[in-house]
Amino acid sequence: MNNEQKAKIESALLTTLTMSMLLLLLWYVTIDAPEQPEEEGVEIAFGDSENGGGAEPDAVPMPAVPLTQSPPPTPQAPTENDLMVQDDDESLALAKQREEERKRRAEQEELVRKQREEQARQEAERRAEEQRLAEERARQAAEEQAKRDKANALAGLFGNNQQGAQGSGTTQGSTRQGSDNPVGHGSIGGNSWSLKGRNIKTLPKPSTQFNQEGRVVVAIQVNSEGKVISATVGEGTTVSDYQTRQVALEAARKAEFSPSENKIQVGTITYTFKLN
């Protein structure tokens, strides 16, 4: 309760007390007024009146008795309880308004959260689809490379492909005018590559720090400048040793191809490991 409300209550109480005292004073003065004394004596009859009383005297008017008026009702000043009830009503209305605002904000926040979750879900699905397509392309490229490697091995049995010859390889696919290097795929030093429409510029040999013989097929992604931007172990790999796989991945990341208008292309590099 603030100072203004206290002042109003004190003023109302003081006014009520003053009026009550005035009314009590008026009531006391009215009750305490002296009454008119009645006339005393013996009535004597003169003359020959039948009742011996003579002529009837005129009626003496009775003194008027002042009517006591009830005091007007005392105006009731608002009590502290009434003010507390009023404050409680205002507090309840304010609390109800705040609760409605809180619910409205909660509903808006829930809507924003659901929208963000939906956007995140759609973004995750898009990325997963892109990853799936990239893996599918890499798998297909690895399968094609495995088929070509198998064909090259069969051709080598008949002397058509000398294993280990620098720059040798199959000549299937298109070639660029004025270039004797195969375009799209080939083999160098027993290691082969496949990247549609590209020439190989550098195919580093893997390190000799490997522990298992076999073949590691590396699925690669190449940018328009011919740099390898991604390298993962692909299908067709026969080596399970981690160290040997890492050696192949490190060598594949250093390979360089001819530039192209295509932003990103998917291909493969296959390394053959033999223990001495």
pLDDT in tens, 21-34: 888 888 877 766 56
Say if residue 228's pLDDT is above 90.
yes
CA–CA distance, 98 with 95 (Å, rounded to integer): 5
CATH numbers and ranges of domains, the chain: 157-161+181-273 (3.30.2420.10)
Our measurement of the distance from residue 34's CA atom to the centroid of its chain's CA atoms, rounded to an integer in Å, reads: 90
CA atoms within 13 A on the CB side of 159: 0
Looking at residue 35, the DSSP 8-state letter turns out to be P
Handedness of CA 157, 218, 208, 229 (dihedral sign): positive
Our measurement of the distance from residue 217's CA atom to the centroid of its chain's CA atoms, rounded to an integer in Å, reads: 45
Instruction: With residue 185 as reference, give the H or E element that holds it.
Output: strand 185-188
For the stretch 244-264, pLDDT in tens is 999 999 999 999 999 988 888
Q: Are 81 and 74 in contact (CB under 8 A)?
A: no
Q: What is the DSSP string of 208-269?
A: S-----EEEEEEEEEETTSBEEEEEE-TT-----HHHHHHHHHHHHT-EE---S-SEEEEEE
Q: Mean pLDDT, to the nearest integer, of 186-193?
A: 89
**Structure token pair of residue 90:** 């205002």
For the stretch 114-160, pLDDT in tens is 989 998 988 888 888 887 887 777 777 777 767 766 665 555 444 33
pTM value surpassing 0.85: no
**Structure token pair of residue 43:** 């009535």
Q: Which residues of 246-260 are buried (b: 16+ CB within 10 A; e: fewer)?
A: bbbbebbbebbbbeb
Say if residue 62's pLDDT is above 80.
no
Residues β-bridged to residue 217: 270
Q: Are 150 and 237 in contact (CB under 8 A)?
A: no
CA atoms within 13 A on the CB side of 247: 21
If 0-12 CB within 10 Å is exposed, 13-18 middle and 19+ buried, where does residue 88 land?
exposed
